[in-house]
Structure 1
Amino acid sequence: MKVLIVDDEKHVREAIRYFVAWDKYNISDIYEATNGQEATLIMQEHQPAIVFTDMRMPLMDGAELLEWLHLHFPNTKTIVISGYQDFNYVKPAIVYGGTDYLLKPLNSKQLIASAEHAFKLWMEEEAERKQSQRQNMQLNVLRPLYWDKMLSDLVYGHASFQELKLALCEELGLPIAAASCRVAVISMQGADCRLLQRFHGDVALTAFVLANVCNEVMAPHYSGYAFRSWQSGGELVILLWNAVQQAETVLNGINESIRQAYGVQVDIGLSLLNPLPEGLQQAYTQARQGLEERNLLQRDGRIHLCRAAGDESRPKGDYAPDMQLDKLRIAVLSGDLERMQRVVEEWARELAGLPLLPESSFLHQQEEIRAVLKRWRPEEEISLELCYDSQGLFSVENWESQLKSLLQHLSKGIAQAPDSRLVLEIREYLNQNYAQEMTLQHIAERFFISRENVSRKFKQITGENLSDYLTSLRVDKAKTLLQNTHLRLSQIAELVGYEDEKYFSRVFKKSTGVTPREYRKQEEE
Structure 2
Amino acid sequence: MKVLIVDDEKHVREAIRYFVPWEKYDVRDIYEATNGQEAMEIILEQQPAVVFTDMRMPLMDGAELLEWLHRYSPYTKTIVISGYQDFSYVKPAIVYGGIDYLLKPLNSKQLISAAERAFQKWKEEKQERERTFRQNIQLNILRPLYWDKKLSELAGGTVSFQELEEALIEELGLPRNAKRCRIAVISLQSSGLLLKKFRGDIQLTSFVLANVCNETVSLRKQGFAFRYWHEGADVVVLFWDGVEEAEDRLLEINESLKQAYGISLDIGLSRILPFPEGVSDAFTQARQSLAERNLLLLGKRIHEYREDSSEAERTGGAKAAALLEKLGLSLLSGDIDKFIRSFEEWANSIAGTGVLTVSGLRDWEERLRNVLTKWRQEWAEGEEASRAESAFPAGMDESSNFSFERWREGLKAYILKMFSESKLSRTSDSRIVREIRDYLDKNYQQEITLQHIADRFFLSRENVSRKFKQVTGENLSDYLTNLRIDKAKELLQNSDMRLSRISELIGYEDEKYFSRVFKKATGQTPREYRKREEES
TM-score (norm 1): 0.71
CA contact (8 A) 2:181 2:272 kept: yes
Greater Rg over alpha carbons, structure: 2
- 1:208-287 equivalences under 5 Å are 208-232=207-231, 234-287=233-286
Aligned to 2:106: 106
Q: 1:392 — aligned with what?
A: 400
* Alignment match, 2:500: none
Alignment gaps of 5+ in structure 1:
422-525
AA partner of residue 281 (structure 1)? S
Aligned 8 A contact 2:54 2:81 in 1: yes
**Cα 1:206–1:342 shift into 2, 3 Å:** farther
Q: Secondary structure at the match of 1:219?
A: coil
Q: Work out the CA distance in 1 between the residues paired with 2:283 and 2:40.
A: 58
Q: Write the distance in 1 (CA, Å) between the matches of 2:69 and 2:333.
A: 88
Counterparts of 1:419-438 in structure 2 under 5 Å? Answer: none
Q: Distance in 1 between matches of 2:110 and 2:435?
A: 96
Q: 1:232 deviation in Å?
A: 2.0
SS of structure 2 residue aligned to 1:81: strand
Query: What amino acid is the match of 1:262?
Result: Y
- The residue type equivalent to 1:68 in the other structure is W
Matched, 1:302 2:301: yes
SS of residue matched to 1:222: coil
1:122-153 Cα shifts (integer Å, max 9, x gaps): 11111111111111111111111111111111
Tell me how far apart the structure 1 counterparts of residues 6 and 200 of structure 2 sit (CA, whole Å).
60
Question: Is the counterpart of residue 12 in structure 1 residue 20 in structure 2?
Answer: no
Partner in structure 1 of residue 168 of structure 2: 168
Residue identity in the other structure for 2:107: N
Alignment correspondent of 1:82: 82
Q: Once the 2 structures are TM-superposed, how far is the Cα of residue 279 of structure 1 from its aligned partner?
A: 1.3
Cα separation, 2, equivalents of 1:144 and 1:98: 41
Partner residue in 2 for 1:40:
40
- Residues of 2 paired with 1:341 and 1:111: CA distance? 100
- 1:59-458 aligned at under 5 Å gives the runs 59-190=59-190, 192-232=191-231, 234-308=233-307, 317=315, 319=317, 349-366=348-365, 382-384=390-392, 386-400=394-408, 402-403=410-411
CA-CA distance at 1:348 after TM superposition: 5.0
Q: Is the 8 A contact 2:233 2:287 kept in 1?
A: no
Change (3 A) 1:12 1:395: same
TM-fit CA distance, 1:339: 9.5
- Once the 2 structures are TM-superposed, how far is the Cα of residue 193 of structure 1 from its aligned partner? 2.5
Asked whether the equivalents of residues 180 and 276 of structure 2 are also in contact (C-alpha less than 8 Å), the reply is: yes
Alpha-carbon contact 1:348-1:397 (below 8 Å) kept: no
Post-superposition offset of 1:100:
1.2
1:85-116 CA distances to partner (integer Å, 9 max, x unpaired)? 11111111111111111111111111111111
Aligned to 2:50: 50
1:185 Cα deviation from its structure 2 partner: 0.7
Residue type matched to 1:18 in 2?
Y
Residue deviations 1:471-502, cap 9 Å, x none?
Answer: xxxxxxxxxxxxxxxxxxxxxxxxxxxxxxxx
Give the residue type in structure 1 aligned to 2:397: D
The superposition leaves residues 362-396 of structure 1 with CA deviations (integer Å, 9 ceiling, x where unpaired) of 13444566786899698879445743334431112
- Separation (CA, whole Å) in 2 of partners of 1:107 and 1:331: 110
| CA 199–117 in structure 1, closer or farther in 2 if over 3 Å, else same | same
Find the aligned partners of 1:27 and 1:327 in 2 and give their Cα distance.
91
Shift, 1:290, TM fit: 0.8
Q: 1:478: which partner in 2?
A: none
Secondary structure of the equivalent of 1:221?
coil
1:332 Cα offset (Å)? 8.9
The answer to whether the 8 A contact 1:317-1:355 is kept is no
Contact 1:266 1:302 in 2 (8 A): yes
Contact between 1:351 and 1:396, CA under 8 Å: does it hold in 2? Answer: no
The residue aligned with 2:511 is none
Aligned equivalents of 1:334 and 1:115: distance in 2? 101
Task: Output the CA distance in 1 between the equivalents of 2:340 and 2:11.
Answer: 97
Equivalent pair of 1:203/1:234 in contact (CA under 8 Å): no
AA aligned to 1:19 is: F
CA distance in 2, matches of 1:328, 1:216: 51
Q: Distance in 1 between matches of 2:89 and 2:255?
A: 62
Q: 1:293 touches 1:360 (CA, 8 Å); kept in 2? A: yes
Change (3 A) 1:36 1:353: same
Matched position secondary structure for 2:142: helix
Indicate conservation of the 8 Å contact 2:185/2:233, yes or no: no
- 1:188 maps to amino acid: L
Per-residue Cα deviation, 1:426-455 (whole angstroms, up to 9, x for no partner): xxxxxxxxxxxxxxxxxxxxxxxxxxxxxx
Question: Structure 2 unaligned runs (5+)?
Answer: 378-383, 426-430, 439-536
Equivalent in the alignment of 1:436:
none
TM-align CA RMSD: 3.5
Q: How many residues align?
A: 419
The alignment partner of 1:237 has SS state of: strand
Q: What letter corresponds to residue 60 of structure 2 in structure 1?
A: M
Q: Secondary structure at the match of 2:157?
A: coil
- Overall identity of the aligned pairs, in %: 56
Please give the alpha-carbon distance, in whole angstroms, between the structure 2 residues aligned to 1:378 and 1:108.
97
Q: Name the aligned partner's letter for residue 392 of structure 1.
A: S
